[in-house]
Amino acid sequence: MPDAEDVRRIALSLPDTTEKIAWSMPTFRVAGKMFATLPEDETSIAVRCPKEERDELALAEPGKFWIADHEAQFAWVRVRLTALEDEDELRDILADSWRQAAPARLLEAYPRLGLPPQG
Protein backbone atom coordinates (compact mmCIF):
# COMPACT_ATOMS: atom_id res chain seq x y z
CA MET A 1 0.00 0.00 0.00
CA PRO A 2 1.41 3.42 -0.91
CA ASP A 3 2.44 5.83 1.83
CA ALA A 4 3.42 9.49 2.17
CA GLU A 5 6.96 8.85 0.94
CA ASP A 6 5.58 7.20 -2.21
CA VAL A 7 3.36 10.25 -2.76
CA ARG A 8 6.37 12.53 -2.39
CA ARG A 9 8.61 10.44 -4.68
CA ILE A 10 6.01 10.05 -7.43
CA ALA A 11 4.79 13.66 -7.29
CA LEU A 12 8.33 15.02 -7.46
CA SER A 13 9.09 12.75 -10.44
CA LEU A 14 6.49 14.62 -12.52
CA PRO A 15 7.90 17.40 -14.75
CA ASP A 16 8.49 20.84 -13.20
CA THR A 17 7.09 19.74 -9.82
CA THR A 18 8.20 21.26 -6.53
CA GLU A 19 7.24 20.65 -2.91
CA LYS A 20 6.28 23.54 -0.65
CA ILE A 21 4.93 23.59 2.89
CA ALA A 22 1.63 25.49 3.07
CA TRP A 23 -1.02 25.36 5.80
CA SER A 24 1.51 23.28 7.80
CA MET A 25 1.45 20.43 5.25
CA PRO A 26 3.40 19.36 2.17
CA THR A 27 1.93 20.60 -1.09
CA PHE A 28 3.06 19.70 -4.60
CA ARG A 29 2.99 22.22 -7.42
CA VAL A 30 3.59 22.19 -11.14
CA ALA A 31 4.93 25.47 -12.46
CA GLY A 32 3.81 27.01 -9.16
CA LYS A 33 0.20 25.73 -9.33
CA MET A 34 -0.86 23.27 -6.63
CA PHE A 35 -2.03 19.81 -7.74
CA ALA A 36 -1.69 17.67 -4.59
CA THR A 37 -1.42 17.98 -0.82
CA LEU A 38 -0.60 15.59 2.01
CA PRO A 39 -2.99 16.81 4.71
CA GLU A 40 -3.16 16.10 8.43
CA ASP A 41 -1.58 12.79 9.35
CA GLU A 42 -0.43 12.01 5.79
CA THR A 43 -2.76 9.01 5.41
CA SER A 44 -4.58 10.64 2.51
CA ILE A 45 -3.93 13.03 -0.34
CA ALA A 46 -6.02 15.80 -1.81
CA VAL A 47 -5.90 16.11 -5.60
CA ARG A 48 -7.58 18.14 -8.30
CA CYS A 49 -10.67 16.53 -9.77
CA PRO A 50 -13.52 18.06 -11.79
CA LYS A 51 -16.57 18.37 -9.51
CA GLU A 52 -18.76 16.05 -11.60
CA GLU A 53 -16.14 13.29 -11.58
CA ARG A 54 -15.35 13.92 -7.92
CA ASP A 55 -18.96 13.46 -6.88
CA GLU A 56 -19.21 10.23 -8.91
CA LEU A 57 -15.99 8.87 -7.37
CA ALA A 58 -17.10 9.66 -3.83
CA LEU A 59 -20.45 7.92 -4.42
CA ALA A 60 -18.98 4.91 -6.23
CA GLU A 61 -16.03 4.28 -3.89
CA PRO A 62 -16.65 6.04 -0.54
CA GLY A 63 -13.97 3.92 1.15
CA LYS A 64 -11.37 5.37 -1.21
CA PHE A 65 -12.59 8.86 -2.15
CA TRP A 66 -14.33 11.57 -0.15
CA ILE A 67 -14.91 15.30 -0.22
CA ALA A 68 -13.62 17.29 2.73
CA ASP A 69 -16.16 19.85 3.96
CA HIS A 70 -13.79 22.81 3.52
CA GLU A 71 -12.98 21.71 -0.06
CA ALA A 72 -16.58 21.08 -1.17
CA GLN A 73 -16.76 24.28 -3.23
CA PHE A 74 -13.47 23.49 -4.99
CA ALA A 75 -12.62 20.88 -7.62
CA TRP A 76 -10.62 18.68 -5.22
CA VAL A 77 -11.12 15.16 -3.86
CA ARG A 78 -9.44 13.28 -1.01
CA VAL A 79 -7.97 9.82 -1.53
CA ARG A 80 -7.23 7.35 1.28
CA LEU A 81 -3.77 5.92 0.67
CA THR A 82 -4.67 2.64 2.43
CA ALA A 83 -7.49 2.08 -0.08
CA LEU A 84 -5.23 2.29 -3.14
CA GLU A 85 -4.35 -0.95 -4.88
CA ASP A 86 -0.73 -0.10 -5.61
CA GLU A 87 1.77 2.54 -6.67
CA ASP A 88 0.45 2.45 -10.25
CA GLU A 89 -2.97 3.63 -9.08
CA LEU A 90 -1.32 6.38 -7.00
CA ARG A 91 0.80 7.42 -10.00
CA ASP A 92 -2.30 7.58 -12.23
CA ILE A 93 -4.17 9.75 -9.71
CA LEU A 94 -1.22 12.13 -9.22
CA ALA A 95 -0.52 12.37 -12.96
CA ASP A 96 -4.17 13.14 -13.68
CA SER A 97 -4.15 15.93 -11.09
CA TRP A 98 -0.80 17.19 -12.45
CA ARG A 99 -2.33 17.39 -15.94
CA GLN A 100 -5.18 19.55 -14.63
CA ALA A 101 -2.76 22.07 -13.12
CA ALA A 102 0.07 22.00 -15.69
CA PRO A 103 0.48 24.88 -18.13
CA ALA A 104 -0.02 24.26 -21.85
CA ARG A 105 3.75 24.21 -22.53
CA LEU A 106 4.17 21.17 -20.24
CA LEU A 107 1.06 19.42 -21.55
CA GLU A 108 2.47 19.84 -25.06
CA ALA A 109 5.91 18.60 -23.98
CA TYR A 110 4.46 15.54 -22.19
CA PRO A 111 1.28 14.69 -24.13
CA ARG A 112 1.02 11.08 -22.86
CA LEU A 113 1.78 11.74 -19.18
CA GLY A 114 -0.90 10.22 -17.01
CA LEU A 115 -3.08 9.03 -19.88
CA PRO A 116 -4.09 5.36 -20.02
CA PRO A 117 -2.00 3.28 -22.41
CA GLN A 118 -3.55 2.82 -25.83
CA GLY A 119 -4.31 -0.82 -26.59
For residue 6, the model assigns a pLDDT of 97
Mean pLDDT of the chain, nearest integer: 93
For residue 14, the model assigns a pLDDT of 97
**What does the alpha-carbon distance between residue 81 and residue 45 come to, in Å, rounded to a whole number?**
7
Short-list 58, 7, 74, 64, CA closest to 36: 7
Is residue 22 over pLDDT 60? Answer: yes
Helices 87-101, 4-13: crossing angle, 10 deg rounding:
50
Q: What is the pTM of this model?
A: 0.93
Q: What is the pLDDT of residues 59-115, one digit of tens each?
A: 999 999 999 999 999 999 999 999 999 999 999 999 999 999 999 999 999 988 866
pLDDT greater at residue 34 or residue 113:
34
Residues 17, 83, 91: CA angle, nearest 5 degrees: 25
Q: Which residues of 39-52 are buried (b: 16+ CB within 10 A; e: fewer)?
A: beebebbbbbbeee
